Structure 1
Amino acid sequence: MNTSPPLLQIDRLTRHRAGRMAVQDLCLSLGRGEVLGLLGVNGAGKSTTLSMIAGAMRPDSGTIRLNGQDFVEHPGLARTMVGWLPERAPLWQELTVLEHLQAHGRLRNLNGSVLRQACETIVQRLELSDIAPRLAGLLSQGQRQRLGLGCALLHKPALLVLDEPANALDPVQVAALRQLIRDEAAAGTTVILSTHLLNEVTAVCTRVAILHQGQLRYAGPVEDAGAQALEQQFFDIAMHGRSVAA
Structure 2
Amino acid sequence: MIEVQGLVKTYGSKRAVDGVSFRVNRGEILGFLGPNGAGKSTTMKMITGFLRPDAGTAVVDGHDVTREPLAVKRTIGYLPESAPAYGEMTAEEFLSFIAEARGFRRRPERLAVVNRAIGLTHLESVRTQTIETLSKGYKQRVGFAQALLHDPSVLVLDEPTDGLDPNQKNEVRALIKNMATEKAVILSTHILEEVEAICTRVIIISRGQLVIDETPAQFQARQPGARLDEIFYELTRSDL
1:190 aligned partner: 184
Gaps of 5+ in 2: none
Q: Deviations over 1:39-58 (max 9, x none)?
A: 11111111111111122111
Shifted more, 51-60 versus 22-31: the winner is 51-60
Shifted more, 218-227 versus 69-78: the winner is 218-227
Shifted more, 189-198 versus 24-33: the winner is 189-198
AA partner of residue 99 (structure 1) = E
Work out whether residues 152 and 160 of structure 1, in 8 Å CA contact, stay in contact via their aligned partners in 2: yes
State the Cα distance separating 1:115 from its structure 2 match. Answer: 1.7
1:161 aligned partner: 156
Identity level (%):
37
State the Cα distance separating 1:130 from its structure 2 match. Answer: 1.2
2:176 aligned partner: 181
User: Alpha carbon RMSD of aligned pairs, Å?
Assistant: 1.6
1:66 aligns to 2:66 (yes or no): no
Count how many residue pairs are aligned between Structure 1 and Structure 2.
234
1:212 aligned partner: 206
Matched residues in 1 for 2:95 and 2:70: separation? 20
State the Cα distance separating 1:194 from its structure 2 match. Answer: 0.5
State the Cα distance separating 1:205 from its structure 2 match. Answer: 0.3
Q: Deviations over 1:34-73 (max 9, x none)?
A: 0000111111111111111122111111101012221111
Matched residues in 2 for 1:16 and 1:110: separation? 37
Q: Deviations over 1:122-165 (max 9, x none)?
A: 11121111111111121111111000000000011111111111
AA partner of residue 190 (structure 1) = A
Matched residues in 2 for 1:87 and 1:48: separation? 11
1:53 aligned partner: 47
Shifted more, 230-239 versus 162-171: the winner is 230-239
Per the alignment, do residues 114 and 211 of structure 1 end up closer, same or farther by CA in structure 2, a change over 3 Å counting?
Answer: same
Per the alignment, do residues 78 and 90 of structure 1 end up closer, same or farther by CA in structure 2, a change over 3 Å counting?
Answer: farther
TM-score by length of 1: 0.90
State the Cα distance separating 1:232 from its structure 2 match. Answer: 5.0
AA partner of residue 183 (structure 1) = N
Matched residues in 1 for 2:13 and 2:99: separation? 36
Matched residues in 2 for 1:128 and 1:18: separation? 42
Matched residues in 1 for 2:190 and 2:211: separation? 15
AA partner of residue 76 (structure 1) = L
1:200 aligns to 2:198 (yes or no): no
AA partner of residue 216 (structure 1) = L
1:97 aligned partner: 91
Instruction: State the secondary structure of the residue aligned to 1:14.
Output: strand
Per the alignment, do residues 184 and 61 of structure 1 end up closer, same or farther by CA in structure 2, a change over 3 Å counting?
Answer: same
1:3 aligned partner: none
State the Cα distance separating 1:29 from its structure 2 match. Answer: 0.4
State the Cα distance separating 1:236 from its structure 2 match. Answer: 2.0
Work out whether residues 17 and 42 of structure 2, in 8 Å CA contact, stay in contact via their aligned partners in 1: yes
Per the alignment, do residues 136 and 18 of structure 1 end up closer, same or farther by CA in structure 2, a change over 3 Å counting?
Answer: farther
